[in-house]
């Protein structure tokens, strides 16, 4: 049983990456606008994150080195500092969106405005990170987040036109009448959501926290190759549910309250309770990931002692960064900014930061000095190189598309 619970690290990393606040609403908005016309992007993102997460986990298991440690060593202090600044800003913005998202979920359940819940949510998150063991957090939140699978069940219950859904998923071009730049802007945000850097920062650092070694290689691969596809399928189920219910009616999905409509239509109040519970779990999980990733990044760059296992006396700066990140995120959300908008900006920033994050991973995964006989094979290198080209294209196109489309308006 303990072996299977070990997969929860990958599930937590995956649902936090594919199902944070902005991704939930964006998937529903895309489903309501394009149906499953961007399913190919989710598939591409799943392949990319599986490839690089597997490399990162293998590096941890064999060499005991987390990702950001390698970024600094391979890029040098200056280039790594640029990556650190970009990744840290993106991750703090994403953390702010998660805290705001949890508050919105509580608002939907209680009717009390979400701004009232922002501070209690942030304080509760900090207490959990401070007092609860790493393994318990990943197991509870990772498995509880699977409640979002109620979207997939609701699609089956609503009995849609399956051939129409399959036809949408088979397309790789914009529907008639849809602007091409807007279509590709959404494609890049979906891809960045799948490949966002904090996922591998968290997964690789979590592997160090759990003391992975070469004997854990099978579990490490399973963590990456099962967890992330699960996250991708959950994201697709949200888009598909919106395609079934909202697309035929010409409805938009711009808020969390609109996202849950298909589940409410299928299962009524019982379904709403399940989906809000699932959203609460995945958003708290994403907040945990992003807050911890801030501490991991900064500590690994400067060579500070780090890790949730270490008491504050031994890793004071790490714990201070985690707490400070939560505080900054709290202040951002408390201004009243829309959590969805915050995450959309963060995703564009993540797309720009992708190459400097993943290139060192690909290089080290081929270095026998670190990995010996566990270096990449031909297949892993082929997938890694193809995805690196896609990452570069996304990084170059992200900001111009954001400007020209008005963030997909």
The average pLDDT across 189-218 equals 82
CA dist 52 and 55 (Å) reads: 5
Does the pLDDT value for residue 10 go beyond 60?
no
Instruction: Please write the tens of the pLDDT for every residue from 146-155.
Output: 889 899 999 9
Does the pLDDT value for residue 2 go beyond 70?
no
What torsion do the CA atoms of 194, 195, 201, 206 make, to the nearest 10 degrees?
A: 40
Which of the four pLDDT bands, split at 50, 70 and 90, describes residue 135? confident
Cβ atoms < 10 Å from Cβ of 65: 17
CA dist 327 and 363 (Å) reads: 36
CA dist 68 and 202 (Å) reads: 10
CA dist 297 and 68 (Å) reads: 6
The residues, any chain, with a CB within 8 Å of residue 300's CB and separated by 6 or more, are 66, 68, 69, 72, 205, 306
The pLDDT assigned to 1 comes to 44
Does the pLDDT value for residue 143 go beyond 80?
no
CA dist 42 and 25 (Å) reads: 15
Does the pLDDT value for residue 93 go beyond 80?
yes
Q: Are 405 and 179 a contacting pair, CB within 8 Å? A: yes
CA dist 316 and 329 (Å) reads: 20
Which of the four pLDDT bands, split at 50, 70 and 90, describes residue 14? low
The pLDDT assigned to 176 comes to 78
Largest CA distance in the chain: 61
Least confident window among 172-181, 275-284, 288-297? 172-181
Percent of the chain's residues with pLDDT above 70: 95
| Exposure b/e, 353-364, CB count within 10 A at least 16 = b | bbebbbbbbbeb
Looking at per-residue confidence, does 409 or 322 come out higher? 322
**Closest C-alpha to 48, from 89, 18, 19:** 18
The pLDDT assigned to 250 comes to 83
Q: Let me know how long the chain is.
A: 409
Which of the four pLDDT bands, split at 50, 70 and 90, describes residue 227? confident
CA dist 186 and 29 (Å) reads: 10
Which of the four pLDDT bands, split at 50, 70 and 90, describes residue 190? confident
The pLDDT assigned to 396 comes to 93
Q: Are 10 and 228 a contacting pair, CB within 8 Å? A: yes
Does the pLDDT value for residue 409 go beyond 60?
yes
The average pLDDT across 161-189 equals 87
**What's the N-to-C CA distance of the chain in angstroms?**
48
Q: What is this structure's pTM?
A: 0.88
Does the pLDDT value for residue 3 go beyond 60?
no
Domains (range + CATH), the chain = 2-405 (1.20.1740.10)
Least confident window among 160-169, 214-223, 384-393? 214-223
Does the pLDDT value for residue 274 go beyond 90?
yes
Most confident of 65-69, 188-192, 353-357: 188-192
Instruction: Please write the tens of the pLDDT for every residue from 284-339.
Output: 988 998 999 999 989 988 989 998 888 888 889 999 999 999 999 999 998 888 87
Does the pLDDT value for residue 4 go beyond 70?
no
Cβ atoms < 10 Å from Cβ of 349: 22
Cβ atoms < 10 Å from Cβ of 122: 25
The pLDDT assigned to 228 comes to 82
* DSSP assignment of 214-266: GGGHHHHHHHHHHHHHHHHHHHHHHHHHHHHHTGGGT----SHHHHTHHHHHH
Which of the four pLDDT bands, split at 50, 70 and 90, describes residue 15? low
**Closest C-alpha to 310, from 337, 333, 292:** 292
The average pLDDT across 224-231 equals 81
The DSSP code for 374 is G
Cβ atoms < 10 Å from Cβ of 298: 22
Does the pLDDT value for residue 241 go beyond 60?
yes
CA dist 315 and 299 (Å) reads: 9
The average pLDDT across 248-269 equals 88
Mean pLDDT estimate for the chain: 85
Looking at per-residue confidence, does 299 or 175 come out higher? 299
The pLDDT assigned to 388 comes to 94
CA dist 304 and 315 (Å) reads: 7
Looking at per-residue confidence, does 338 or 7 come out higher? 338
The pLDDT assigned to 323 comes to 93
Q: Are 123 and 334 a contacting pair, CB within 8 Å? A: no
Q: Are 59 and 370 a contacting pair, CB within 8 Å? A: yes
CA dist 159 and 22 (Å) reads: 28
């Amino acid at each position: 049983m303990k072996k299977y619970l070990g997969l929860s690290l990958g599930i937590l990393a995956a649902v936090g990456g594919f199902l944070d606040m902005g991704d939930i609403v964006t998937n529903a908005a895309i489903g309501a606008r394009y149906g499953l016309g961007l399913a190919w992007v989710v598939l591409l993102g799943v392949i990319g994150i599986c490839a690089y997460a597997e490399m990162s986990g293998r590096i941890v298991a064999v060499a005991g080195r987390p990702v950001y440690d390698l970024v600094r060593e391979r890029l040098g202090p200056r280039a790594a500092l640029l990556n650190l600044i970009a990744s840290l800003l993106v991750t703090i913005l994403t953390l702010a969106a998660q805290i705001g998202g949890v508050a919105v979920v509580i608002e939907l359940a209680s009717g009390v405005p979400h701004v009232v819940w922002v501070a209690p949510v942030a304080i509760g998150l900090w207490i959990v990170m401070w007092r609860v063991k790493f393994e318990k957090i990943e197991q509870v939140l990772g498995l509880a987040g699977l409640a979002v699978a109620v979207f997939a069940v609701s699609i089956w219950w609503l009995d849609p036109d399956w051939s129409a859904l399959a036809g949408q998923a088979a397309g790789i071009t914009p529907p008639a009448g849809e602007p091409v730049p807007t279509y590709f802007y959404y494609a890049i945000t979906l891809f960045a959501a799948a490949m966002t850097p904090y996922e591998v920062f968290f997964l690789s650092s979590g592997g160090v926290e759990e003391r992975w070694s070469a004997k854990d290689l099978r579990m490490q691969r399973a963590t990456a190759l099962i967890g992330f596809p699960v996250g991708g399928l959950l994201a697709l189920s949200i888009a598909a549910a919106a395609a079934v219910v909202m697309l035929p009616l010409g409805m938009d999905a711009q808020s969390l309250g609109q996202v849950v409509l298909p589940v409410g239509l299928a299962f009524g109040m019982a379904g709403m309770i399940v989906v809000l519970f699932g959203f609460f779990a995945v958003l708290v999980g994403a907040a945990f990931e992003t807050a911890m990733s801030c501490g991991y990044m900064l500590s690994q760059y400067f060579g500070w002692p780090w890790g949730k296992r270490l008491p504050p006396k031994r890793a004071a700066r790490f714990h201070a960064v985690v707490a400070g990140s939560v505080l900054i995120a709290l202040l951002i959300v408390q201004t009243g900014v829309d959590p969805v908008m915050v995450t959309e900006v963060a995703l564009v920033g993540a797309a720009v930061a992708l190459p400097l994050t993943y290139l060192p991973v690909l290089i080290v995964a081929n270095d026998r000095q670190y990995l010996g006989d566990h270096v990449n094979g031909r297949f892993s290198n082929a997938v890694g190189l193809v995805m690196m080209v896609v990452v570069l294209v996304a990084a170059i196109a992200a900001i111009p598309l954001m400007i020209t489309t008005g963030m997909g308006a």
